Structure 1
Amino acid sequence: MMKKLHKLNSTPIILVLSFIVLLMTGEYIKTHFNYNNIFTKLETNNSKITKNNSDLKDFSMGELPTNAKNANIENIKVYPGGFPVGIKMNTKGVLVVGFSDIEVAQDKIESPGKKSGMELGDVILKVNNEDILDSKDLIKKVDKSKQNVEITIQRGDKIFNKTINPVVSTLDNSKKMGLWVRDSTAGVGTMTFYYEKNNIYGALGHPITDADTNSILKVRSGELVDSSIIAVKKGEKGSPGELKGIFIDNEKSKGTILNNTFAGIYGKLNGENKFAFRNGQLSILPRDKVKEGKAQILTTIDEKGPTLYDVEIVKLFHQDAPDIKSMVIKVTDERLLNKTGGIVQGMSGSPIIQDNCIVGAVTHVLVNRSDVGYGIYIEWMLNEAETVK
């Protein structure tokens, strides 16, 4: 029997800060949230999301000359974040995250989707040339289709069609393609910056990805809500710590999520309901002016809200193309070391500040060194903010 999907409600939900909850839905639906930490550990597959594109955007942000490059981004001033935000996002199409055999009489039939050549990470956009809104819509369209189903798939940058012959399951007498799919995600993340003039925010510093396929989830719609930190798990060697938070007001939208990119999520805030930024505006320091040495991170680990903690930038990487691993940072602040052990899951997106300017954001923690992690140049995040229209 098909099980019902549990939806978010007004009850506070405990989530891992900054690393997104993935909800499995589709032809086979689970009845609970599956909390997966994504991009919390430094692993070789992180290189998959590196942006190998040397054609960088101009840093106009609405106020600079169209030929502005590194030096001129110092004219931009943004509000630093460092506080948690609740994230609710629906994907564009549905993401294939697994295959399943189908029970027919006393036998099991291999997944028709898998037999047709579908791969994990494929995004189903259409069925018989009709757009797919979510997993329930996919089930409905497949079940009412004729013998063969033509589906439109996006794999990486390529979009193509496949024909699949669904099988009628004896469990519920419905047509199935033998796929596990995902259509939404929810969790708590860290705000990095807010550019008031164009009402654009950036958060996380890394993409929201699917834990099973490592695919960057494509946004159909999404929103931000208020959230709060309620607990800290201290990091230890081989076991990164984490910040845990809750949705405070699940129903009141604070902003929209328009893009999910290699460098985080971006969108706009909602008028009078937008978040209150406690700190004044700061300038941006371009990557060629960032230096090794003393710096600070602005992050939230308790009810006190965003607090500055001392770190050291121990290594900078020369980058002509965007990458989420731009610098290595080490926590030196005893307050943070005593409370969290250093960098923990949930701090990604926390602004890195040097000489009273924003230079980057935290993105990773090393598995065996909780006091050491990676950061992204803020310049790369501003590039992605330019995609918000």
Structure 2
Amino acid sequence: MTDSFDRTPGAGRSRPKLGSPSPEDLGRLAEAGDGSAKPSTFSQHEPLRQPKTSLPLADGGVGSAAESRGTQSPLQGSSILSIDAPEFYPFGYTEYQEVPYEDNSEGYYQDVTLAELVQDMLSHLNASPGSFELEVEGIAATLNEWVTTEETLQELVELIYTQSTSIPNFAYTGARLCNYLSQHLAISPASGNFRQLLLRRCHTEYEQRNDAVKGDEVTQKSFHSYVLFLGELYLNLEIRGPTKRATILLEALKNLIDALLSNPVDGNIICAVKLLKLTGSVLEDDWKLNGKTEMDAVVAKIRNIQLDSTCSSRDVKAMLLNLLELRSSDWGRVVSGASAVEATPDNDPNYFMNEPTFYTDDGVPFTAADPEYSEKYQEIVDRECYCPDFSEENGTEECYEEEDGMDPEIEEAYEKFCLESERKRRQ
């Protein structure tokens, strides 16, 4: 049994071969069946099926080929696509409608209030005070379009006053703006124009001066800002008259100074000093023009406060002393300035103003106005290195001490430095 067993893989098994059946197979099939020999399923290949539709003709489509056979194309009549069909929009779609742009300057600020507009303008001027001359004309033109009623004019005055007395260092620019608007705002209702309403607003604060100088720190600080703003208004608000300034402000400033000095706490005194440094020379000139000596009375009060050891701090007393010295020099002005040719240390107090300041070994400063200037200056020249010439190559000053010379180690290091510099320069 083992001898007849074939161990070859696949031995004893055979796969039917595809192709035509043998005569023996046909005979067996005829005997088993009804005598009709049927071909095997693995007979020769069936012929290819004819296409359901004919290929399109050269000059027509499917419809043309079907028409040529007298039959209807399967695609004909079933398609609803058409170039004339309306556009399809999904559910919830909103068609975009482009709004034409209109260059209408009147509607540019239609969503902005007057307060916001003025706030933006003043913030811009505060950030760029140098652009005042370039911007103020446009600001006035814009405000003329907005301020057309008595209510808006009153609101404008209040806005500018509030910003000028609350923004630090804006009093000067605010006063200049008030002066320009008082001359260029077109509206002038029966209640008063811009300048009249502004002075009326300042008068309201002026009437509370006696209580403000005795109030708390916040009240005093607000009052001090008002005082300095009024001083700027006095210098910048132009009106018709010989002095081109509001006379009513001259009297108001005198009373404000008296109120500040009547309660000589540090804050009030500092405010009075700032006001007098700002307007002292102009106030005294205007008082003298009117035949008054009001500045002498103010200086007398300041001197009494400066001599009183209990009414102010040491730093404030130093400020008062500097103010008194400033007034004694006619507020820093030269009454009769000598010509440049005739100027001498005796007739020109500013003769030594631009001279440099030197220091001795002990740190004591001295200038050309010092009587011993020549001797002290010569000592400095003899002691230290003085070199008027500069090196043309590297722009550094060449300075040597010819008498003492340099230390040997320093000289050796310097020579190495020069050689290294020369080597790098030639590379």
- As a proportion of its length, which structure holds more helix? 2
TM-score with structure 2 length normalisation? Answer: 0.22
Larger radius of gyration: 2
